[in-house]
């Protein structure tokens, strides 16, 4: 399925009265400005709205995907999206709770701007009456002098209000404190909204709920500078039901770039979703209609062992991000690893990616398989490895190993890899030099 075919296959659920009711049902509204006004606004004539993405890494992650899909859902309702990549705000970065950010070079940020722009563009339609538009806040920030910034924008801000923002107050109470650079971030983001309001008539900004202070910075600035009305929607942060977060700051981000999180690892992430999290993630990350999600919800409750919800979720989101072919390859790799397909038939890149997600080791062709069981952690000792082989419980590339002195060289697959398995489910990878 091509990108244009994928976009044309996406639809909002017509069983809802309007798009506001649908995004509320899907759990996409954690906090917002006046809900009644937003419902009227989104049910009326097309509006222009935006979301900003800072290039603080060379790829977007699944938290950003929430925002992109909200942009797309509102576009499907007839509204006009602006995707903003922060060429200027990315040079600073919004305040983190604990410490100052390491500032990236201007060249690095400029390169990442292009990466993020290309990722966002894949999810939006740039055709028709409500075609998406990409913008870069460096275009209006770079020409602005410090004096003009302070006179024209800074005068509308009150330090007392700025100090009350959650991110700022957290840093003020920490040992690290906060620099003026990061303190000023909320002004820059507010200025973005004002610029888009003036240039495009943009009246809505979306973002994560942890950005609420920055979102309202823009709505307040528009009210003060233009006596205009603008709105904001803060989406929920993506966590497991146990409260575990995902993102760059937690060190466990799931990236949209296949070079940073392979399609196999991406698929496995969704496949391993806890039962309690399946339905909320189906609502947020897929375009499946309410009737289908409710059908899956009933199965998750009555027959959780089937893991139907996890399989549907993994297939839908991986296809959305990486395409159907990459998703099918990831599924084939997972099946072949457990003896339900031919490992030799797999694309070598997919197989290599899959094995990097498993315990693995480097080895020479003459390395003994018994020793590799120890090196990869499949057994605790060489004697245990030899017993496992003697009992018929060790496999290389799904072929049983009978000799405890067998070497890995005869089993190497294209890509220079081999798959170790102990028993039915315990796997490891070997990269043969």
Does residue 265 surpass a pLDDT of 70? yes
In whole angstroms, what separates CA 402 from the centre of its chain? Answer: 44
Asked whether residue 53 is assigned to any structural domain, the reply reads yes
Does residue 248 register a pLDDT over 60?
Answer: no
Domains contained in the chain, number: 3
Average pLDDT over residues 392-413: 94
Please check whether residues 348 and 430 belong to one and the same domain: no
In a domain, 252, yes or no: no
Q: Does residue 250 form part of some domain?
A: no
Give residue-wise pLDDT tens across range 297-342. Answer: 999 999 999 999 999 999 999 999 999 999 999 999 999 998 888 8
Residue 151 has pLDDT above 80, yes or no: yes
In CATH, what number is assigned to the domain containing residue 341? 1.10.240.10
Q: Is residue 245 part of a domain?
A: no
In the sheet with 399-400, reading across from the earlier edge strand, the strands are: 360-363, 426-432, 417-422, 394-396, 399-400
Same domain, 161 and 297: no
Q: Are 41 and 23 in contact (CB under 8 A)?
A: no
Examine the domain organization and report whether 55 and 192 are in the same domain: yes
Residue 88 has pLDDT above 90, yes or no: yes
**Last-in-domain residue among 342, 357, 372:** 357
- Bin 235: left if φ > 0, else alpha if -120 < ψ < 50, else beta: beta
316 and 350 in a common domain: yes
Q: Which tokens is 67 given?
A: 């925002």
Tell me: do 212 and 81 sit in the same domain.
yes
Range of the domain at 268: 262-357
Q: Which of 241-245, 279-283, 357-361 has the lowest mean pLDDT?
A: 241-245
pLDDT band with cut points at 50, 70 and 90 for residue 288 = very high
Output helix, strand, coil percentages for the chain, rounded to the nearest 5. 50, 15, 35
Say whether pLDDT at 247 is over 70: no
428 in the same domain as 323: no
* From 227-231, 240-244, 363-367, 418-422, the region with the lowest mean pLDDT: 240-244
Is 67 in the same domain as 156?
Answer: yes
In this structure, are 266 and 390 located in the same domain? no
- Tell me how far apart the alpha carbons of residues 115 and 112 are, in angstroms, rounded to a whole number: 5
DSSP-H helix ranges across 164-208 = 166-172, 180-183, 185-200
Please check whether residue 257 lies inside any domain of the structure.
no
Query: Does residue 249 belong to any structural domain of this protein?
Result: no
Are 14 and 61 members of one domain? yes
Question: Are 112 and 168 within one domain?
Answer: yes
Domain termination residue (choose one: 332, 357, 382): 357
pLDDT exceeds 80 at position 250: no
- Asked whether residue 241 is domain-assigned, the answer is no
Write the pLDDT tens digit of every residue in 28-66. 999 999 999 999 999 999 999 999 999 999 999 999 999
Phi, psi dihedral angles at 49 (to 5 degrees):
-140, 165
Mean pLDDT value across the chain:
94
In contact, 27 and 284? CB cutoff 8 Å? yes
* 56, 134: one domain: yes
pTM score: 0.92
What is the DSSP code (8-state) at residue 407?
B
Greater confidence, 245 or 228?
228
Continuous segment of H or E residues that includes residue 308: helix 308-322
Domain annotation covers residue 244: no
- Specify the pLDDT at position 173: 83
Decide if 70 contacts 47 (C-beta within 8 A).
Answer: no
Confidence of residue 5 (pLDDT cuts 50, 70, 90): confident
pLDDT at 169: 86
- Report which secondary-structure segment, H or E, holds 296: helix 290-302
334 and 366 inside one domain: no
Arithmetic mean of pLDDT, 277-281 = 96
Please compute the mean of the pLDDT values over residues 388-392 and round it to a whole number: 96
- Res 170: pLDDT: 85
pLDDT band at 166, cuts 50/70/90?
confident
Tell me the per-residue pLDDT of 199-223, one tens digit each, with 9 for 90 and over. Answer: 999 999 999 999 999 999 999 999 9
d(C-alpha 368, C-alpha 383), whole Å: 13
Q: Is 101 helix (H, G, I), strand (E, B) or coil?
A: coil
Tell me if residue 84 falls in helix, strand or coil.
Answer: strand
Provide the CATH number for the domain around residue 178.
Answer: 3.40.50.620
Please say which residue of 235, 253, 270 terminates a domain: 235
3-state secondary structure of 113: helix
pLDDT-derived band at 120 (thresholds 50, 70, 90) equals very high
Dist. CA 65–CA 284, nearest whole Å:
10
- pLDDT bracket for residue 245 (50, 70, 90): low
Query: How many CB atoms lie under 10 A from the CB of residue 214?
Result: 27
Give the CATH number, domain containing residue 411: 3.10.290.10
339: left (phi over 0), alpha (psi -120 to 50) or beta: left
- Mean predicted confidence (pLDDT) in 262-291: 96
For 246, half-sphere exposure in the C-beta direction (CA atoms, 13 angstrom radius) is 19
């Amino acid at each position: 399925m091509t990108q244009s075919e994928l976009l044309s296959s996406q639809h909002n659920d017509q069983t809802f009265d309007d798009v506001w009711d649908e995004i509320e049902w899907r759990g996409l509204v954690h906090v917002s400005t006046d809900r009644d006004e937003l419902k009227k606004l989104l049910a009326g004539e097309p509006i222009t709205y935006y979301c900003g993405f800072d290039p603080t890494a060379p790829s977007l992650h699944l938290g950003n995907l929430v925002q992109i899909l909200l942009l797309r859902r509102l576009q499907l309702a007839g509204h006009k999206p602006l995707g903003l990549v922060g060429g200027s705000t990315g040079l600073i970065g919004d305040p983190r709770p604990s410490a100052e950010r390491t500032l990236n070079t201007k060249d690095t940020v400029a390169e990442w701007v292009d990466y993020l722009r290309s990722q966002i563009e894949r999810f939006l339609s740039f055709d028709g009456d409500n075609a998406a538009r990409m913008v870069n806040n460096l275009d209006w920030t770079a020409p602005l002098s410090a004096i003009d910034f302070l006179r024209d924008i800074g005068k509308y801000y009150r330090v007392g209000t700025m100090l009350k923002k959650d991110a700022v107050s957290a840093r003020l109470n920490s040992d690290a404190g906060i620099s003026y650079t990061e303190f000023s971030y909320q002004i820059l983001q507010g200025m973005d909204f004002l610029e888009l309001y003036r240039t495009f008539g943009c009246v809505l900004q979306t973002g994560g709920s942890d950005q609420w202070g920055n979102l309202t910075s823009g709505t307040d600035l528009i009210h003060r500078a233009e006596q205009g009305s603008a709105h904001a929607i803060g989406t929920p942060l993506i966590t497991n039901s146990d409260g575990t977060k995902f993102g760059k700051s937690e060190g466990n981000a799931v990236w949209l770039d296949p070079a940073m999180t392979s399609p196999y690892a991406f698929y496995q992430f969704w496949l391993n979703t806890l039962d309690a999290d399946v339905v909320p993630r189906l609502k947020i990350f897929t375009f499946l209609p309410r009737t289908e999600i409710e059908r899956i919800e009933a199965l998750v409750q009555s027959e959780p062992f089937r893991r139907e919800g996890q399989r549907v979720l993994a297939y839908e989101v991986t296809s959305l991000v990486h395409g159907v072919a990459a998703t099918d390859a990831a599924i084939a790799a997972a099946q072949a690893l457990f003896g339900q397909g031919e490992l030799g038939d797999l694309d070598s890149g997919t197989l290599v990616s899959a094995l990097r997600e498993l315990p693995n080791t480097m080895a020479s062709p003459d390395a003994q398989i018994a020793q590799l069981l120890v090196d990869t952690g499949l057994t605790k000792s060489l004697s245990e490895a030899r017993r496992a082989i003697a009992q018929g419980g060790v496999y290389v590339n799904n072929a049983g190993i009978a000799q405890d002195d067998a070497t890995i060289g005869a089993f190497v697959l294209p890509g220079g890899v081999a798959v170790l398995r102990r028993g039915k489910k315990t796997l490891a990878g070997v990269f043969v030099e």
